[in-house]
């Protein structure tokens, strides 16, 4: 490769992933595009994750260890971006892996709109023993349309993202989101009007959901709602609540709390149907809820909530009229 080609910095945040991070790192070092560096940020792992990464003797690998206690996903990703020297930054999760042609294919697409295009890929989706390919919409319009939906929102997988480094320094991850910090970033990138999203049609990334995945954490759904509520407040021109606790306290006991409680309950049930039941970790026990009495499945109930939310909107293209405190 000629030195005139852009340097790509691949950032791998890691915490206690000794069983997977070696595969993730090897998949990047095996890329057909050679002008890259790998920035591994170890967030106070209690296992051999950092040692495994340091065991790779390739000079393109740089391992940074956080000290003083874990920072969390958002701050770790921002640390990686700060340390990166490349013109473009690519994500790589420690428990996933990339196909050899991933970076080369994505970078070629990004250079069709230099400094502006944020590129993802189709993925192989693995849950337990189940495997299937997910082909994402390719055009910017179809991708951002998904960002505004209540259900079926996954039109871009953040783990596959390749983006201009300057853009991610201008619009960083936000540590207020313990989970879904990547989804919050995608939403704010789309709202900035500084980017054009694009998905490569090829399956270039394996996205793995395991028993220790964040979807099994009770806080996952809670922060899912917080990201959605923050999106709605921005759409209405309102300031966001700085913490999830302040947002929840402001809900009161009226329609707003009922809406978000029902949505959270349904998201949790849908996760049980689509993800958790395929894992070895047991899903939370089923509890009766107000939406359950309708006799609808979780997916059908989510779709009904979606229609109700859209009925509250003054414009079909915006969720800005949905009531949110």
Residue 38 φ then ψ, to 5°:
-120, 120
**pLDDT tens-digit profile of 217-242?**
779 999 999 999 999 999 999 999 99
Question: Which tokens in the block code for residue 58?
Answer: 């390739």
> Which among 10, 206, 216, 215 has a CA at the least distance from the CA of 96?
206
Q: What is the pLDDT of residue 275?
A: 53
Model confidence pLDDT, tens digit, residues 238-287: 999 999 999 999 998 888 889 899 888 888 877 665 554 444 433 333 33
Task: Please give the average per-residue pLDDT across 159-171, as a whole number.
Answer: 98
**Mean predicted lDDT score pLDDT of the chain:** 84
Is residue 167's pLDDT more than 70?
A: yes
Given this model, what pLDDT does residue 285 score? 31
CA distance 117 to 196: 5
In this prediction, residues 294-312 reach a mean pLDDT of: 45
Containing 14, the helix (H) or strand (E) segment is strand 8-14
Q: pTM (2 decimals)?
A: 0.83
Q: By mean pLDDT, which of 167-176, 256-265, 306-315 is the weakest?
A: 306-315
Residue of higher predicted confidence among 269 and 61: 61
Q: How far apart are CA 5 and CA 7, in angstroms?
A: 7
Q: Which domains does the chain have, with CATH numbers?
A: 8-209 (3.90.550.10), 214-311 (no CATH)
Whether 30 and 22 have beta carbons less than 8 Å apart is answered as: no
Question: How do residues 91-130 score in pLDDT, each as one tens digit?
Answer: 999 999 999 999 999 999 999 999 999 999 999 998 877 8
């Amino acid at each position: 490769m000629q030195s005139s080609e852009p340097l790509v910095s691949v950032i791998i945040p890691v915490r206690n992933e000794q069983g997977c991070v070696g595969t993730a790192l090897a998949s990047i070092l095996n890329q057909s595009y050679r002008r890259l560096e790998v920035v591994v940020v170890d967030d106070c792992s209690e296992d051999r994750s950092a040692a495994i990464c340091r065991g790779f003797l390739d000079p393109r690998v740089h391992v940074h260890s956080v000290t003083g206690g874990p920072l969390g996903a958002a701050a770790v990703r921002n640390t990686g971006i700060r340390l990166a020297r490349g013109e473009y930054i690519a994500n790589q999760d420690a428990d996933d892996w990339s196909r050899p042609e991933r970076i080369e294919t994505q970078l070629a697409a990004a250079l069709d709109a230099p400094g502006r295009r944020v590129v993802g890929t189709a993925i192989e989706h693995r849950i337990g023993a189940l495997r299937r390919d997910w082909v994402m919409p390719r055009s910017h319009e179809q991708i951002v349309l998904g960002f505004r939906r209540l259900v079926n929102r996954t039109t871009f997988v953040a783990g596959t993202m390749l983006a201009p480094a300057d853009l991610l320094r201008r619009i960083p991850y936000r540590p207020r989101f313990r989970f879904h910090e990547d989804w919050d970033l995608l939403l704010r990138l789309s709202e900035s009007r500084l980017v054009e999203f694009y998905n490569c049609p090829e399956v270039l990334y394996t996205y793995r959901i395991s028993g220790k995945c964040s979807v099994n954490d009770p806080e996952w759904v809670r922060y899912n709602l917080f990201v959605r509520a923050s999106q709605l407040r921005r759409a209405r021109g309102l300031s966001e609540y700085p913490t999830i606790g302040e947002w929840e306290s402001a809900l009161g006991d009226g329609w707003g709390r009922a809406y978000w409680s029902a949505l959270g309950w349904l998201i949790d049930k849908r996760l049980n149907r689509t993800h958790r039941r395929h894992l070895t970790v047991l899903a939370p026990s089923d509890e009766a809820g107000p939406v359950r009495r309708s006799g609808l499945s979780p997916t059908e109930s989510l779709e009904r909530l979606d229609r109700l939310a859209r009925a509250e909107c003054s414009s079909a293209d915006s969720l800005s009229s949905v009531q949110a405190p």
